[in-house]
Structure formats: C-alpha cells, structure tokens
Chain A
C-alpha cells in the first residue's frame, strides 16, 4: 500500500515538476505543438520521452530505496531493519522474595555476516546475564532456564518496564515479549525495507548477472540456458510458419480449404498455448519434442490467420490488373499475392514470436533441463531471488529485443507496408 502511495506521489510530482520546468524552456513550434485541440486527437498524443525516462528512474529509485541499495543515497532509503546491539537489563524475583538484576545483550547482525558474540560475565546473583546474536528480520529467544538456572524465580521487569508472561512492549530497536513459559523473545525492528530474499537490491542483481554469466547456475551456464530457450522458440516458430503460411494461403485462395480448416482454426485460436501443456505432456512428454510441439502449435494458428488475412486483404483491382497483364495463377501468387500479404505475415510473425517466447518460459517452468524458465524455477526453490529477478529481467530484455529486431527487419524488408 505504502509503495503504491509513494509511486503515485512520484508520478504526480514528476508530472507537475516537468510541467513547471518545461514551461520555462523554449517551446517547440512543430505542427503538433501548434494544435489547439489535443484531447481526443490521438495523433497529437505522442509518448513523452522525459516521462519515459523518469518512469524508469522512478522504478529503480523505489526499488533501491526499499532495498537499501547503494544506487540510492542512504538518506533516501526507507527505514531499514535494525542492526546493532541492544542491552536489556532485567530484574527477577525468587520464591524467597529477594530480587536480583541481570542483563541480556542482543547483537542484531545484518544478513550475510556472522559475527562472534562478545561474551558477558554471567554475574553472581541468581539472575544471570546472557549475550546472544540474531540475524536481522529473525527473532531471538532467550529461555528462562538460561537466565534463571536455579529455578523458582520469575522475571518481573525488563528495561525498567514491569512484565508478566504473555506481555509484550516495544522499544526503539524492536519488540520485547515474554512467552507464557517465562522466556524472553526479542524481535528486532524490521523497518520498511524488503528482505533480500523477497527483493534483492538492484546492484546484487547486477552482481548476480555477472556471476551467472561467468559461472552459470547448477552447472549450466547462463548462455546455455538462454540459447536453449531461444533455440526452442526459433524451431517452433519456424515449423509453425512453414506449415501455417501455406495453410493460410490455401484458406485464402480456396473455399474448400477455408471451409475445412475454418472450424479448426477458429476453435484453436482462443485456446491459450499454456492450456495445451498438460495434453502435450501426455502425448509427447515434456522434453524437447513436447516443447517444440507446443511452440509449433502456439505459432501455427497465428501464422495461419495472418497469411489468410494477407490474402484476403489484396485489392481485387490488383488481381484484375495482373490477369489483364497476362499473368498466370502462379505468377499472380508469386508476384502479387505473396508480396501483398507480407505486411500481414510480418505482423503475425511478431505476435507469434512474442507468444512463443512467453510460452517457452512457461513450459520450462513446468519441466526442462536447460532454459531461462528452468533457471528461474530452480533458483526459486532455493529462494535465490536475485537469480529469479536476473532471469526475469533477461527474459523481458530478450523478448523486447526480438520485437525490436522484427520491427527493424520489417522496415527494411517491406517498406511498402501501409502504402497500398
């Protein structure tokens, strides 16, 4: 909740701040900036570049701030978990009615360290002193028999506050509680920051990335994992295309083909590929054949529909013109229908690649020996959250990279797109 509120505040702050600052900057006088009607005019709504940059910075800021990261100056960190030493003097009373004083020293150490505890003199009275250590975010339990080994005694106050079994009170460094059996529990203050096992700091993800790049994880290098995922996507997509595109053409050109395959395609289209995983496992097993079949099916329907749309989209006057110019059916297919459908096929290919990439990761989560999905699911079992995050970020970057590559290729290969 608080994160959402902070995020909204940053959003509004950046927006208002940018408005104020850009008001002083020289205005651009291009066509869009001179439009007076902008609300509702979609063409005048361009993505604001500074907003995108600030958005990315905001994400890293919040991420860093809530993980105590070094990329965010420490005064901007949200309060972290308490680490350091706490001294809790206590008073106990025995059956005879006499009192004695002891002390509990608790060393709260940060995650990843393992300091040794300075021993403390146990003292001479029946209330002994004790020194313990505990990791941040965990709680320490000091049993009654350690503090009052003689028995027949009871702690009556801690740090000057009277206490009875079941009571608890807060101090700056955390929460002190007496259990029903008279032991003392201390929960150090957790703060607002995330424990690394929930959300590691950005820099530890980066470190982990380099570590993975060099050493791999569970005897599989990072590159091998990514290579296998990409390989499956490319093979599945390729098979889906070489079956799907001709089938789509046939459906666009022949009414028998269209009638025959329409029910199948229209039925399979809304079935998410992930829903096929169980069936694929039963049929093909989950190993390579299964995964490639799954990706083949994921790409197939998209490519069929794209090719069919590409054929249906050809203007009849182009076909008529080609016939009147003496072209045969094959020549029309090759010189008119195929080039005319390429924009649609490319759009389909972009969608199919995206779907395949998502599907392969999901399939690898279910079972795989190698692959990006396998890496993150294995890491999650050992709560290596930094590996999980590294994997997710890499999966995102690769998916985005594929899409950008397809867009660039589209620009070069089919410059006539949308110009017909």
Chain B
C-alpha cells in the first residue's frame, strides 16, 4: 500500500544530567498519498522531533515510519524538506539551488534545465534565475526552497514552519502558492505551523498535538484546503465553520499552555 505510516512512535531524549525528556509518546498516523496534513501544537510538544523522525534525521526510540512499504532508515530524496529559513545554499544562484537535487543524481544538464525552468515558472522566479539567493527577499527565498524540494519529485514534502519568518502579507500569498502546488503536483504534504489559521487553511486534516509527553490530542477533517485552491483565502476565512473551529482550537491550545505554566509554577 502506498502512503506514509507513522507507527506507534516514541522518542525519549536522554539528558546529560541523567534525566530524560519524553518528546513523543505512541504517535500513530496514517497518511494517504496526496494528503495535505497540518500539525499544530504548543511550543515544545515535539512537532519538529516528529518531522525529523519522518525525514530520517532522527531514529525514534520506539516505533517506525513506513513509506511505500519501506521502512525509513535515513534521509532520502523521496522525502523532501522545506525549512523555515537559512537552508538555501547562498554560494549558488537560484537556478543552481533548484537544480541541486537533479545535479546530485547526475541528471544530464538538458533534462534538469527543463525541470528547473518549469518550477521557476510555477513559483514565479524565472527572471531571478541567475541572481544569488541572498539578493532575494524572504518570501522569494522560500519559493526557491519550495522549487528546490519539488525538483527532486519527492513522494512526501515535509515543511517545518516554512512561512514562519515571513510578514503577514507575503505569508498569505505563499499559503496560496502551497495550496496551488499541492493541487497541481498531488504530493503528500506534512506542514508544521504555529498559526492556527494557517493550519486550518493548509490542512485537509489537522492534527493538534499536546505536550509532555508529545502526543496527538485531536484530529480534524477540514474542507478549507479544497475550498481555498485557486481562490482568495480571505473568502475561505469567512466560511461559517472557520471561525468556530479556530476558536475551538485556540482555546484548546491555550488550556494546554496554561497547564504547562501551572505545572512549571508549582514545580518552582
């Protein structure tokens, strides 16, 4: 069966002082091919840890990740990553960054050129092709990161707060772009965010995680991503369920944060 299975994953970090942090506990997720999944949760609930495990950068203490019936053992090009910022190669031009994956595979220049040109058209950076990445704005840099990831044609795209460092306006535009790319390419996308609105807009399915130990708290199935494709996202936000769900999730996360605060206060 094709798809991504996160199978009963637990992650415990042993600390140098002898203690340990249970970053994840018994997390199980079944993600269908082509699904758009957003993950939300208070800071420190293990979102990045989970994504790093799926990407293969970390081995979980228990459980396993299975992609297309194969166990994930390490990073590989069927699982692409988009980071918050600073993961582009500043010594390469925009074009070189995007063709990094194909180049590493040893793809002939003529072939990779077609891929790169098509992706730069999609993200709207054709005219910045030969520019150095540090000459680009933050939003443009994230578009390069998206294109670079897509150039390898991965099965799954993992995004850890990809739009977190952008201003509100650019962020909204980029959310539209992510939806467009999702629809056009049919990729499985897992997106971590701190913004409840973004999670609602960019998640067919939304997972709310709870901390200590990091676990899945609640799951939603949402219509907004489908509705938003190619539309003005501000219209989608006016949908009657949007506000309601947002309030519900915000309250949920608030309660979790409150609980953490209370716990640390009583500990002190």
CA distance A328 to B100 in the complex (A): 12
Indicate if the CB atoms of B80 and A324 lie closer than 8 Å. yes
Most buried by A among B81, B149, B154: B81
Please determine whether B81 and A320 come into contact, CB atoms closer than 8 angstroms. Answer: yes
Contact present for B104 and A331 (CB under 8 Å): yes
- Which of B6-14, B71-79, B230-238 lies at the interface? B71-79
List B residues 65-110 near A (Cβ within 8 Å). 74-77, 79-81, 83-84, 86-91, 100-101, 104-105
Contacts of A321 in B (CB 8 A): 81, 83, 87-88, 148
Cβ of B91 and Cβ of A340 under 8 Å apart?
Answer: yes
Q: Are A339 and B91 in contact (CB under 8 A)?
A: yes
Cβ of A336 within 8 Å of any chain B Cβ, yes or no, is yes
Q: Contacts A320-B55, A327-B104, A415-B132 hold; do A335 and B77 have CB atoms under 8 A apart?
A: no
Docked-complex contact A326 and B77, CB < 8 angstroms: yes
Q: How far is the CB of A319 from chain B (nearest CB, A)?
A: 9
Partner of A324, one of B76, B90, B105: B76
| Residue from B56, B83, B84, B101 in contact with A326 in the complex, judged by beta carbons closer than 8 Å | B101
Interchain CB contact under 8 A, B134 and A320: no
Known: A325-B100, A325-B152, A415-B132. Is A320-B91 also a contact (CB below 8 A)? no
Q: Shortest CB–CB separation between residue B78 and chain A, in angstroms? A: 9
B-side contacts of A414, CB under 8 Å: 91
B57 interface hit (Cβ, 8 Å): yes
Q: Contact check, A328 vs B75: say whether CB atoms are below 8 A apart.
A: no
A415 to chain B: closest CB distance in Å? 7
A315 at the interface (CB under 8 A from B): yes
A336 to B97, CA, bound (A): 11
CA distance A61 to B106 in the complex (A): 66
Find the B residue at minimum CB distance from A320.
Answer: B57
Name the residue on A nearest B86 (C-beta). Answer: A315
Instruction: Give the residue name and chain of the B residue nearest to A318 (CB).
Output: B87
- Chain A nearest CB, measured from B43 CB (Å): 18
Q: Is B87 in contact with A325, judged by CB distance below 8 angstroms?
A: no
Binary per-residue interface labels of chain A (77-99) against chain B in the complex, 1 for a CB within 8 Å, 0 otherwise: 00000000000000000000000
Residues of A within 8 A of B91 (CB): 339-340, 342, 414, 416
A416 to B76, CA, bound (A): 28
Kindly list chain B residues whose C-beta atoms are within 8 Å of the C-beta of A335: 89, 100, 104
A326 touches B134 (CB 8 A): no
Which residue of chain A is the closest to B96 with respect to CB atoms? A335
Q: Within the complex, what minimum Cβ distance (angstroms) separates B116 from chain A?
A: 13
- Picked from B83, B134, B152, the residue with its CB within 8 Å of the CB of A317 is B83
Our pick among A331, A416, A420 for the contact of B86 (Cβ within 8 Å) is A420
**A410 smallest CB distance to B (angstroms):** 13
Q: Is the interface of A mostly helix, strand, loop or mixed?
A: helix
User: In the complex, what's the smallest C-beta–C-beta distance from A255 to chain B, in angstroms?
Assistant: 16
Evaluate contact between A325 and B83: CB separation under 8 angstroms.
Answer: no
Which residues from chain B contact A415 at a C-beta distance below 8 Å? 132
Q: Are A322 and B55 CB-contacts (below 8 A) given A336-B89, A420-B90?
A: no
In the complex, chain B residues whose CB is within 8 Å of the CB of A327: 100, 104
Q: Is the CB of B100 within 8 A of A322?
A: yes
A416 pairs with B100, CB closer than 8 A:
no
Expressed in whole angstroms, the Cα–Cα distance for A92 and B114 within the complex equals: 114
Measured in the bound complex, the distance between the Cα atoms of B148 and A317 in whole Å is 14
A316 to chain B, nearest CB (A): 9
Chain B residues with CB below 8 A from A324, complex form: 55, 75-77, 79-81, 149, 154
B151 closest partner in A (C-beta): A325
Interface centre among A323, A328, A336 (most CB of B within 10 A): A323
| Chain A, 389-420, CB within 8 A of any chain B CB | 414-416, 419-420
Judge whether A325 and B86 touch: CB under 8 Å: no
Report A-chain residues with C-beta under 8 Å of the C-beta of B76. Answer: 323-324, 326
Nearest chain A CB to B50 CB, angstrom units: 15
In the complex, A284 Cα to B88 Cα: how many Å?
49
Closest chain-B Cβ to A413's Cβ sits at a distance in Å of 10
B104 touches A325 (CB 8 A): yes
**Please, which residue of chain A has its CB at the minimum distance from the CB of B135?**
A419
With A326-B76, A326-B101, A416-B132 known as contacts, the answer to whether A320 contacts B89 (CB < 8 A) is no
Instruction: Give min CB distance, B19 to chain A, whole Å.
Output: 24
- A residues less than 8 Å from B77 (CB atoms): 324-326
CB-based nearest A residue for B82: A321
Q: Which residues of B contact A336 (CB under 8 A)?
A: 89
Q: How far is the CA of A320 from the CA of B77 in the complex (A)?
A: 11
Q: Compute how far the CA of A419 lies from the CA of B132 in the bound complex, rounded to whole angstroms.
A: 10
Q: Do B132 and A325 touch across chains, with their CB atoms under 8 A apart?
A: no
A257 to B84, CA, bound (A): 33
Whole-angstrom distance between the Cβ of A339 and the nearest chain B Cβ: 4
CB interface residues, A 283-328, toward B, < 8 Å: 315, 317-318, 320-328
Taking CB atoms, residues of chain A closer than 8 Å to B152 are 325-326
Min CB distance B52 to A, Å, is: 8
Residues of A within 8 A of B101 (CB): 325-326
Q: Known: A325-B77, A326-B77, A326-B152. Is A320-B90 also a contact (CB below 8 A)?
A: no
Closest 9 pairs between A and B when the two form their complex, measured CB to CB: A326-B77, A419-B134, A323-B75, A317-B87, A339-B91, A325-B101, A416-B90, A324-B81, A321-B87
* 16 A-B pairs in the complex with CB atoms less than 8 angstroms apart: A320-B55, A320-B75, A324-B76, A324-B77, A324-B81, A325-B77, A325-B80, A325-B101, A326-B104, A327-B100, A328-B104, A339-B89, A339-B91, A340-B91, A342-B91, A419-B134
Residues of A within 8 A of B (CB): 315, 317-318, 320-328, 331, 335-336, 339-340, 342, 414-416, 419-420
Residues of B within 8 A of A (CB): 55-57, 74-77, 79-81, 83-84, 86-91, 100-101, 104-105, 132, 134, 148-149, 152, 154
